[in-house]
Structure 1
Amino acid sequence: MSDDGSKQSANVWPMAKFYFEVKWAGGAGEGMVSSFQEVSGLDVEAQVIEYRAGDNKIFSTIKMPGIVKTSNVTLKKGIFAKDNKFYDWYSKIKLNTVARTAVTISLLDETGSPTMVWTLANAWPTKVTGTDLKSDGNEVAVETIELAHEGLAIVNK
């Protein structure tokens, strides 16, 4: 008799990374969802502080956690006609003034429900890159937006 997988635990297989969604607050406070080809830079690290007291009999330092540092998050998506919302967001940057918003990136299961959620606090666009153009190219035009943020929270649903 063959095994149909019904006795298998749901925790046996790791999640696939190709089914995700990105949400952020729109201009009028409404939530906006956009489709992306790729999201990268969802990392956080604590800088290391090395310390040794002068009267310590052990001649080596101890290591302590310091300031938390996060990377900028890079989002890539196809370019659509008359869709300039990222450049419009970027163009609102003035000296020391920028529209900041929370950005939520959700890894979805096969039913479309979020299983793991990354939330960027006070995100704002630091760079928008248009596509490269090639007369003999056969690829989709892809733009890139890089977001700076002030913290990354990770929640498992």
Structure 2
Amino acid sequence: MTTSNADPAVSVCFTVRIDDDDLGYFNSCDGLGCEVVIEQREEGGNNGFVWQLPTRIKYSTIKLSRPVGEDSDKLTAWLAGFANGVSRKTATIEARRADKSVVATWHLDGVIPVRWSGPSLSPESPKIATETIELAHHGFLPGA
């Protein structure tokens, strides 16, 4: 079976770049999405339906995970930069196939770190050491 650039993203990894900081590859990305908050209004004398009025858009927190490795230093250095204050950044997340070709790209506005969790290291339960970063953002930007 041959693959082409039109094939869906079956086996992907994600590269993350925040402004000029390359944070490396992640193997899991959850939370890319948004929700339109709806306000319901009932109109007097109209019993046929309830008005569904859009009010605002809420963006999910994005959670990126990977095994601890060489790219972990990049993430730690980026997080250390927030010691003197948090400023919002622009991020790019690229989904890539196993051959590293880009499947899809998302540009995010107003990115800040919400949480980082490192590996739990224990000789009683040997598992792959992973790290997870959670990012909040203000929305998607058009492609550059």
| Interval of TM-score (by shorter of Structure 1 and Structure 2) | 0.7 to 0.9
CA distance in 1, matches of 2:135, 2:95: 19
CA distance in 2, matches of 1:15, 1:112: 11
Deviations 1:81-126 (A, max 9, x none): 79444344445256xx413221111123565332321121111101
User: Which amino acid in structure 2 is aligned with residue 100 of structure 1?
Assistant: R
TM-score by length of 1: 0.72
Percent of aligned positions with the same letter in both sequences?
Answer: 24
> Relative to structure 1, is the Cα distance of residues 132 and 120 closer, same or farther in structure 2, using a 3 angstrom cutoff?
same
User: Which amino acid in structure 1 is aligned with residue 16 of structure 2?
Assistant: V
Residue 54 of structure 2 is matched in structure 1 by: 65
TM-score by length of 2: 0.77
Matched, 1:127 2:115: yes
> Relative to structure 1, is the Cα distance of residues 89 and 33 closer, same or farther in structure 2, using a 3 angstrom cutoff?
closer
CA distance in 2, matches of 1:76, 1:48: 32
Between structure 1 and structure 2, the one with the greater Rg is: 1
- Residue number among 19, 22, 34 corresponding to 2:16 in the alignment: 22
Deviations 1:50-87 (A, max 9, x none): 11223x33254121222101111011122237944434
Matched, 1:102 2:90: yes
CA distance in 1, matches of 2:107, 2:127: 31
Residue 52 of structure 1 is matched in structure 2 by: 42
Residue 137 of structure 1 is matched in structure 2 by: 125
Q: Is the 8 A contact 2:13 2:25 kept in 1?
A: no
Instruction: Give 4+ residue runs of structure 1 displaced > 3 Å after superposition.
Output: 80-91, 109-113
Q: Is the 8 A contact 2:13 2:28 kept in 1?
A: no
Number of equivalenced pairs: 143
- Residue segments in structure 2 that go unaligned for 5+ positions in a row: none
User: Which amino acid in structure 2 is aligned with residue 47 of structure 1?
Assistant: V
Structure 1 or 2: larger strand share? 2
Residue 86 of structure 1 is matched in structure 2 by: 75
Q: Is the 8 A contact 1:40 1:74 kept in 2?
A: yes
- Residue segments in structure 1 that go unaligned for 5+ positions in a row: none
RMSD of the TM alignment (CA)?
3.2
> Relative to structure 1, is the Cα distance of residues 147 and 78 closer, same or farther in structure 2, using a 3 angstrom cutoff?
same
